[in-house]
Copies of this chain bind each other. A is one copy, B any other.
Amino acid sequence: MMQDDYPALTLEIMDLVGDKWTLLLVYTLGDGPLRFSELRRRAMPISQKMLAQTLRGLERHGMVDRTVLPTAPPQVEYALTDLGQTFLSAARVICQWTKDNLAELQEARSRFDAQRLAA
Contacts and interface: CB of A to CB of B under 8 A. Distances in A.
Interface of A: 1, 3, 5-7, 9-14, 16, 18-20, 23-24, 27-28, 30-31, 43, 59-62, 83, 86-87, 90-99, 101-102, 104-105, 107-109, 111-113
A7 B27 contact: yes
A98 B63 CA distance: 12
Contact of A62 (B28, B59, B95, B104): B104
A4 to B, nearest CB: 9
Q: Copy number in this complex?
A: 2
Nearest to A92: B6
Given A90-B94, A90-B97, A112-B60, A30 B6 contact: yes
